[in-house]
Amino acid sequence: MLRLPPFDFYTPGSLAEVIELLAGEGPETRVVAGGTDLWPNMKRRHQKAERVVSLMAIPELAGIEGHNGELRLGSTTILDDIVRSREITERFPALARAVASISSPPLRYMGTIGGNICVDTRCTYYNQTEEWRRSIDYCMKEEGTICWVAPSSPRCWAHSASDSAPILCALGARVEMVSKRGDRILPLTDFYRDDGIDYLDKAPDEVVARILIPSDSDSARCGSSFWKLRRRGSIDFAVLSVAAAVWTDDGNRVTDARIYLGAVGSRPLPVAGLADCLEGRLLSEETISEAAALARKTATPMDNTDFQAQWRGVMAARYTEAALREIAGLDPRGLPPQHLL
């Protein structure tokens, strides 16, 4: 079987200890929580580490709590606990649905929400063993020079693989990071960069401590939906996801709308032009179709995961339509087989 290479492993018991351990460290020191991303990546040798620092022995990093309506998710909160949290299923049902769609039950018992928002970008040329990658002379993301998805491209096209990220972006979540150099909070949308390699605005010495979801995105005020496309009813990463959040006034006219597409770009992609399209209008067959067309334009599916890329673009429109129809209380016409949700 594939084995982990040797490394030094640390299990500090407090956040203060972690910060101290990470101070001044570079990319050869990595943080691990549930390990469902890092360990397989290290076994395949496309992520490397000399030192790995676990966050799982730090009680203060886990937990779900409300604070003046804002929801605070500790970064090492186990995914399965999020799915089972009444606070989340009732107040942020689309987030619960997105997290419930991550991989399979055994991985949701191990994986954490902080790990999921930081999950490495993926690509068919990258998520392979050392020997396989030697056979293509590696790729731009690790040890090589060419992005085989688009060989003339100066950038890496690995795609965002987080199921929670698109919906958290749509809900206006912020991320709180701590380090010896100081704490900072930034909108999750700014946490992600449009580059398959340098995909996070996070330094090696920084630890994601919490994710903050504003009260304004509570289901009492905001309609939200999440649709995930994958081959099978479990296990698979998304090949496309659509996360939508819509705010309306008393007359059901849209006051704000955000749609983020997952797995069709190196970060969760905001659907461009959505505000102009929807604001001040009712969610109707017509406006929903227009929004779906915008999603189709936004999506940049590449041939770097399962399913034909062009068809994933078609599906970006269909799933956007379905997500908005669901929010509008319409039958999500052309509902795909249930198990794909």
Nearer to another protein, 88 or 119 (CB): 119
Mention every residue, 6+ apart, whose C-beta is less than 8 A from residue 176: 183, 184, 185, 208, 209, 210, 211, 212
CB of 332 to another protein, least distance (A): 11
CB of 328 to another protein, least distance (A): 18
Taking CA atoms, 192 is separated from 107, 143, 311, 320, in Å, by 24, 22, 25, 21
Where would I find the beta strands (DSSP E) of 120-206? 174-178, 184-187
CB of 256 to another protein, least distance (A): 29
**Rg (the chain; Cα; Å):** 20
Residue 107 in contact with residue 36, Cβ under 8 Å? yes
Taking CA atoms, 48 is separated from 23, 41, 129, 157, 197, in Å, by 19, 8, 13, 20, 14
CB of 145 to another protein, least distance (A): 11
CB of 199 to another protein, least distance (A): 20
CB of 262 to another protein, least distance (A): 18
User: The tokens of 130 are what?
Assistant: 């050392």
Binding residues for another protein, rule: CB under 8 A, are 1-3, 5-6, 124, 127-132, 134-137, 146, 148, 151, 231-236, 306-308, 310-311, 314-315, 318, 333-337, 339-340
Please state, in angstroms and rounded to a whole number, the distance separating the CA atoms of residues 268 and 260: 6
User: CA nearest 202: which of 228, 240, 176?
Assistant: 176
User: CA nearest 72: which of 90, 57, 87, 54?
Assistant: 87
Matching residue, tokens 């039958």: 331
Nearer to another protein, 182 or 334 (CB): 334
CB of 268 to another protein, least distance (A): 22
Nearer to another protein, 71 or 315 (CB): 315
Pick left, alpha or beta for residue 31 (phi over 0 → left; psi -120 to 50 → alpha; otherwise beta).
beta
Nearer to another protein, 125 or 192 (CB): 125
CB of 40 to another protein, least distance (A): 9
Nearer to another protein, 149 or 169 (CB): 149
Pick left, alpha or beta for residue 178 (phi over 0 → left; psi -120 to 50 → alpha; otherwise beta).
beta
Nearer to another protein, 109 or 311 (CB): 311
User: CA nearest 239: which of 248, 247, 230?
Assistant: 230
Nearer to another protein, 284 or 310 (CB): 310
Please state, in angstroms and rounded to a whole number, the distance separating the CA atoms of residues 130 and 138: 9
